[in-house]
Structure 1
Amino acid sequence: FLPFRSGDSTARIWTVGDGPCSSNPQNGPLNVAVLKHYKGRTNDKSKDVTTLDWNSDGTLLATGSYDGQARIWSKDGELVSTLTKHKGPIFSLKWNKKGDYLLSGSVDKTAIVWDIKTGEWKQQFEFHAAPTLDVDWRNNVSFATCSTDNMIYVCKVGDNRPVKTFAGHRGEVNAIKWDPTGTFLASCSDDSTAKIWSLKQDTCLHDLKEHTKEIYTIRWSPTGPGTNNPNQPLVLASASFDSTIKIWDVETGRLLHNLVAHGDPVYSVAFSPNGEYLASGSLDKCMHIWSVKEAKVVKTYMGSGGIFEVCWNKEGDKIGACFSNNVVIVLDFRM
Structure 2
Amino acid sequence: MGTTKRHMALLTSDHINYMVFRYLQEAGFTHTAFSFAHESGVTNAPVDPNNVAPGTLIALVQKGMQYLELEANVDGQDGSVDGDFKMLSPEELITLDPDQLRQLVQERREEERAAGGVGGARCQAVAEKRKERMGRGAGKEQKEKQEKGKGQARTERTASQQHQQPAGGRGPAPMEEDHPTPPQLEVPPADVVTLHGHESEVYMCSWSPTELVLASGSGDGTTRIWNLNPGPNFCKSSVLLHEAKSDKAGDVTTIDWNHDGSLLATGSYDGLARIWTKDGKLRQTLDKHVGPVFALKWNKKGDMLLSGSVDKKIIVWDAKAGEVKQVFDHHEAAALDVDWRNNNSFATCSTDMMIYVCRVGEATPLKTFSGHKNEVNAIKWDPSGTWLASCSDDNTAKIWSIKGDGCVHDLREHKKEVYTIRWSPTGPNSPNPHLPLLLATASFDTTVKLWDVEQGRCVHTLRGHTESVYSVAFSPNGRYLATGSFDKSIFVWSVADGSLVRTCQGEAGIYDVSWNEAGDKVAACFANRTVCVVDMRL
**Under a length normalisation based on structure 2, what TM-score does the superposition of the two structures give?**
0.59
2: CA distance between counterparts of 1:143 and 1:4? Answer: 25
Name which of 433, 457, 460 aligns with 1:254. 457
Alignment-derived partner of residue 155 in structure 1: 358
Alignment-derived partner of residue 32 in structure 1: 237
The residue type paired with residue 216 of structure 2 is: F
2: CA distance between counterparts of 1:309 and 1:195? Answer: 22
Q: Give 1:4 deviation, angstroms.
A: 0.3
- Name the CA shift for 1:140/1:127 in 2 (closer, same or farther; >3 Å): same
Q: Give 1:118 deviation, angstroms.
A: 1.4
1: CA distance between counterparts of 2:321 and 2:240? Answer: 22
1: CA distance between counterparts of 2:505 and 2:401? Answer: 39
- Name the CA shift for 1:161/1:284 in 2 (closer, same or farther; >3 Å): same
Name which of 232, 251, 254 aligns with 1:51. 254
Question: Can you list the C-alpha shifts for 1:229-257, whole angstroms capped at 9, x where unaligned?
Answer: 11110000000000000000010001100
Alignment-derived partner of residue 226 in structure 2: 14
2: CA distance between counterparts of 1:210 and 1:39? Answer: 41
The residue type paired with residue 196 of structure 1 is: I
Alignment-derived partner of residue 89 in structure 1: 292
Alignment-derived partner of residue 217 in structure 2: 5
- Name the CA shift for 1:29/1:232 in 2 (closer, same or farther; >3 Å): closer
Contact 1:7–1:45 (CA<8 Å) still a contact in 2? Answer: no
Question: Can you list the C-alpha shifts for 1:148-189, whole angstroms capped at 9, x where unaligned?
Answer: 000000010000111100000001000000001111000000
The residue type paired with residue 290 of structure 2 is: K
Alignment-derived partner of residue 329 in structure 2: 126
The residue type paired with residue 17 of structure 1 is: N
Give 3-state SS (helix, strand or coil) of 1:188's partner.
strand
Alignment-derived partner of residue 381 in structure 2: 178
The residue type paired with residue 225 of structure 2 is: I
Contact 2:414–2:443 (CA<8 Å) still a contact in 1? Answer: yes
2: CA distance between counterparts of 1:40 and 1:91? Answer: 16
- 1:106 and 2:345 aligned: no
Q: Give 1:117 deviation, angstroms.
A: 1.9
- Percent of counterpart pairs with the same letter? 64
Q: Give 1:271 deviation, angstroms.
A: 0.2
1: CA distance between counterparts of 2:388 and 2:235? Answer: 41
Q: Give 1:305 deviation, angstroms.
A: 0.9
Alignment-derived partner of residue 303 in structure 1: 506
Q: Give 1:74 deviation, angstroms.
A: 0.4
1: CA distance between counterparts of 2:308 and 2:500? Answer: 35
**Under a length normalisation based on structure 1, what TM-score does the superposition of the two structures give?**
0.95
Name which of 277, 282, 295 aligns with 1:79. 282
1: CA distance between counterparts of 2:388 and 2:364? Answer: 19
1: CA distance between counterparts of 2:334 and 2:374? Answer: 13
Give 3-state SS (helix, strand or coil) of 2:249's partner.
helix
Name which of 345, 351, 354 aligns with 1:142. 345
Q: Give 1:17 deviation, angstroms.
A: 2.6
1: CA distance between counterparts of 2:341 and 2:402? Answer: 11
Contact 1:9–1:45 (CA<8 Å) still a contact in 2? Answer: no
- Which segment is superposed worse, 117-126 or 128-137? 117-126
The residue type paired with residue 516 of structure 2 is: N
Q: How many residues align?
A: 325
Alignment-derived partner of residue 270 in structure 1: 473
Higher Rg of the two aligned structures: 2
Q: Give ranges in structure 1 of 5+ residues lacking alignment.
A: 20-27
2: CA distance between counterparts of 1:67 and 1:258? Answer: 38
1: CA distance between counterparts of 2:234 and 2:374? Answer: 43
The residue type paired with residue 221 of structure 2 is: S
Contact 1:8–1:45 (CA<8 Å) still a contact in 2? Answer: no
Contact 1:197–1:204 (CA<8 Å) still a contact in 2? Answer: yes
2: CA distance between counterparts of 1:333 and 1:269? Answer: 15
Q: Give ranges in structure 2 of 5+ residues lacking alignment.
A: 1-212
Question: Can you list the C-alpha shifts for 1:71-113, whole angstroms capped at 9, x where unaligned?
Answer: 0000000001101100100001000010000000000001100
Contact 1:212–1:242 (CA<8 Å) still a contact in 2? Answer: yes
Contact 1:191–1:214 (CA<8 Å) still a contact in 2? Answer: yes
Provide the alpha-carbon RMSD of the alignment: 1.6
2: CA distance between counterparts of 1:331 and 1:209? Answer: 33
- Name the CA shift for 1:278/1:45 in 2 (closer, same or farther; >3 Å): farther
2: CA distance between counterparts of 1:301 and 1:18? Answer: 23
- Name the CA shift for 1:308/1:30 in 2 (closer, same or farther; >3 Å): closer
Alignment-derived partner of residue 22 in structure 1: none
Q: Give 1:39 deviation, angstroms.
A: 7.4
Alignment-derived partner of residue 190 in structure 1: 393
2: CA distance between counterparts of 1:181 and 1:225? Answer: 6
Contact 2:272–2:285 (CA<8 Å) still a contact in 1? Answer: yes
More strand, by proportion: 1
2: CA distance between counterparts of 1:40 and 1:148? Answer: 25
- Name the CA shift for 1:317/1:29 in 2 (closer, same or farther; >3 Å): closer
**Quick one: higher RCO (CA 8 Å, sep 6+), 1 or 2?**
2
Q: Give 1:297 deviation, angstroms.
A: 0.9
Contact 1:61–1:72 (CA<8 Å) still a contact in 2? Answer: yes
The residue type paired with residue 227 of structure 2 is: T
2: CA distance between counterparts of 1:200 and 1:74? Answer: 38
Give 3-state SS (helix, strand or coil) of 1:329's partner.
strand
Q: Give 1:222 deviation, angstroms.
A: 0.2
Contact 2:244–2:270 (CA<8 Å) still a contact in 1? Answer: no
2: CA distance between counterparts of 1:306 and 1:121? Answer: 37
The residue type paired with residue 4 of structure 1 is: S
